[in-house]
C-alpha cells in the first residue's frame, strides 16, 4: 500500500467541511470535569500501515483518554498533508520528515515533535529480474551495465522531486563508479507515477529499476519479474549508505500551534507515545484486527498483516529524535529536498515526548 492513494473529492469535501469545527481552540479537557473533549484535526496522506500510529491511537481510545476528539484528514500524498497543515486546516500531521522544513522555508516555522520510524521504507531499489539474472546484482553495476543501445539505465521514482526520488538519488550518490563519479551520474531518472504504472513499467522493460515501497517490492518479486537490488531492511546495506537511524516519518506541527495549544499538543503526543508502546508488543494480527477492517478494507488481510509486520521492524518505539539521527537525515534532505540546513534546535522539539515518557514510562 503506497503512500499516495486516491482520495475522492466528495469524501475530501465532507471532511474539509468539518475542519472549521475541528480546529476549535486546543486545550484538553481537565480530568474530573464534565466538559466535552476538545476537538483537533490530524492529517496523514493515506490509510496504510506506515500511519498506523494515528489509527491505533484513535481505535485504542488514547486520544479520548487524553481529552481530545480527533478528526482525520486524509488527502492522499505527503505534499498535500503539508499543504493542509500549513494552511491551518489541521493542527497535527504525520508524514515525511522534510515536509516540516519545507513549511518553515515558506515562512511558517514548523517543528518535528516525534518520530515514528528509523528507516525510510521507500528507499528500496528493485531491478528487473532478467537484468539481475544477467549479472546486474549490485548497485555499482547500474553504472557499468548499460542498456543495449549504450545509454544509461532508467530508474523510476514516483515523480522527480518526490520522496522516492530524494532517497533514491541519495542512495546512488553513495556508490562510486569506476570513473570516480557516483552511480547517480550514470543513470537516467524518470517519473513513474503510481502503483500500476511503476510496476507495469518495470515488468514491460520500460524501466530498468524502480524505487519501491514494500508492497511494490513484494509484488515484483512474487510476480517473478523483479529483484531487490537495495533493501533497507538489510542492516549492513542501510548502515553503509545512511550511517545509522534517521527520522524518516515524523509528527509535526506549526510552532504557533505548539505555543498556543500546549495542552492539546501534549495530549496528542501522549496518545501517540502510548500507541508506539502498544505497537512494540502487539502482534501484527492484533494490530490488523484493531485497524485493518475499518481503515484498509480494500486490501487483502494477508497483505496488510505483512505490511504491519514490516513497519514494526522499523518503527521508532521511543518516538525520540536525537541529534545524531537528525544529522543523518539532514544529509539526505539537503540539498535535494530542502534548501536550508536548519539546526536541530530550529527543527525539532522533543519537549512533549519527554513529558509523555515521564508520565507513561
In a domain, 2, yes or no: no
Looking at the structure, tell me whether residues 228 and 254 fall in a common domain: no
Coil, strand or helix at 125: strand
Burial 310-333 (b: 16+ CB within 10 A, else e): bbbebbbbbbbbeeebbebbbebb
All cell numbers assigned to 46: 493515506
Looking at the structure, tell me whether residues 283 and 228 fall in a common domain: no
Looking at the structure, tell me whether residues 161 and 193 fall in a common domain: yes
Domain boundary among 186, 220, 242: 242
Looking at the structure, tell me whether residues 190 and 275 fall in a common domain: no
209-212 β-sheet, strand order = 187-191, 153-157, 209-212, 124-128, 226-230
Which CATH number covers residue 140?
3.40.190.10
Cell 549508505, located at residue:
241
Looking at the structure, tell me whether residues 253 and 107 fall in a common domain: yes
Return the bridge partners of 111, or none. Answer: 253
Q: What is the pLDDT of residue 76?
A: 87
In a domain, 89, yes or no: yes
Structural domain boundaries, residue 226? 124-242
Looking at the structure, tell me whether residues 113 and 254 fall in a common domain: yes
* Helices 235-242, 323-333: crossing angle, 10 deg rounding: 80
Q: What is the pLDDT of residue 36?
A: 64
Which H or E run includes 129? Answer: helix 129-133
Which residues, given as ranges, of the chain have pLDDT below 50?
1-35
Domain boundary among 217, 242, 267: 242
pLDDT one-digit tens code per residue, 222-267: 999 999 999 999 999 999 999 999 999 999 999 999 999 999 999 9
Q: What is the pLDDT of residue 8?
A: 40
Looking at the structure, tell me whether residues 270 and 184 fall in a common domain: no
Residues ≥6 apart with Cβ < 8 Å to 272? 53, 54, 57, 62, 114, 116, 251, 319, 356
In a domain, 235, yes or no: yes
Q: Are 28 and 68 in contact (CB under 8 A)?
A: yes
Domain boundary among 242, 263, 294: 242
Q: How many domains does the chain have?
A: 2
Looking at the structure, tell me whether residues 136 and 87 fall in a common domain: no
Q: What is the pLDDT of residue 77?
A: 82
All cell numbers assigned to 125: 531499489
Amino acid at each position: 500500500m503506497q503512500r499516495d492513494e486516491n482520495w475522492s473529492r466528495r469524501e475530501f469535501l465532507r471532511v474539509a467541511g468539518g475542519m472549521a469545527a475541528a480546529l476549535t481552540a486546543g486545550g484538553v479537557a481537565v480530568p474530573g470535569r464534565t466538559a466535552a473533549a476538545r476537538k483537533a484535526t490530524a492529517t496523514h496522506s493515506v490509510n496504510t500501515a506506515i500511519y498506523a500510529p494515528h489509527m491505533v491511537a484513535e481505535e485504542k481510545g488514547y486520544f479520548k483518554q487524553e481529552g481530545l476528539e480527533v478528526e482525520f484528514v486524509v488527502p492522499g500524498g505527503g505534499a498535500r498533508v503539508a499543504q493542509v497543515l500549513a494552511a491551518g486546516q489541521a493542527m497535527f500531521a504525520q508524514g515525511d520528515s522534510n515536509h516540516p522544513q519545507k513549511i518553515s522555508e515558506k515562512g511558517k516555522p514548523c517543528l518535528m515533535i516525534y518520530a515514528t520510524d528509523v528507516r525510510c521504507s521507500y528507499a528500496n531499489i528493485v531491478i528487473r529480474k532478467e537484468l539481475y539474472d544477467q549479472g546486474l546484482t549490485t548497485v555499482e553495476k547500474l553504472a557499468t551495465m548499460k542498456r543495449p543501445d549504450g545509454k544509461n539505465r532508467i530508474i523510476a521514482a514516483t515523480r522527480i522531486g518526490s520522496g522516492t526520488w530524494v532517497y533514491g538519488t541519495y542512495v546512488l550518490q553513495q556508490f562510486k563508479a569506476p570513473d570516480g563519479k557516483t552511480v547517480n551520474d550514470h543513470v537516467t531518472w524518470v517519473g513513474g507515477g503510481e502503483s500500476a504504472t511503476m510496476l507495469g513499467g518495470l515488468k514491460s522493460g520500460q524501466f530498468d529499476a524502480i524505487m519501491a515501497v514494500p508492497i511494490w517490492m513484494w509484488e515484483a518479486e512474487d510476480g517473478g519479474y523483479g529483484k531487490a537490488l537495495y533493501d533497507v531492511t538489510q542492516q549492513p546495506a542501510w548502515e553503509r549508505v545512511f550511517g545509522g537511524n534517521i527520522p524518516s516519518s515524523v509528527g509535526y506541527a506549526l510552532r504557533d500551534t505548539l505555543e498556543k495549544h500546549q495542552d492539546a499538543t501534549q495530549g496528542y503526543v501522549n496518545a501517540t507515545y502510548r500507541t508506539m508502546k502498544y505497537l512494540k508488543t502487539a502482534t501484527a494480527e492484533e494490530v490488523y484486527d484493531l485497524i485493518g477492517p475499518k481503515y484498509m478494507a480494500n486490501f487483502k488481510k494477508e497483505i496488510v498483516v505483512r505490511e504491519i509486520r514490516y513497519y514494526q521492524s522499523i518503527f521508532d518505539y521511543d518516538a525520540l529524535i536525537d541529534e545524531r539521527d537528525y544529522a543523518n537525515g539532514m544529509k539526505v534532505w539537503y540539498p535535494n529536498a530542502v534548501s536550508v540546513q536548519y539546526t536541530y534546535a530550529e527543527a525539532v522539539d522533543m519537549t512533549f515526548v519527554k513529558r509523555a515518557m515521564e508520565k507513561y514510562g
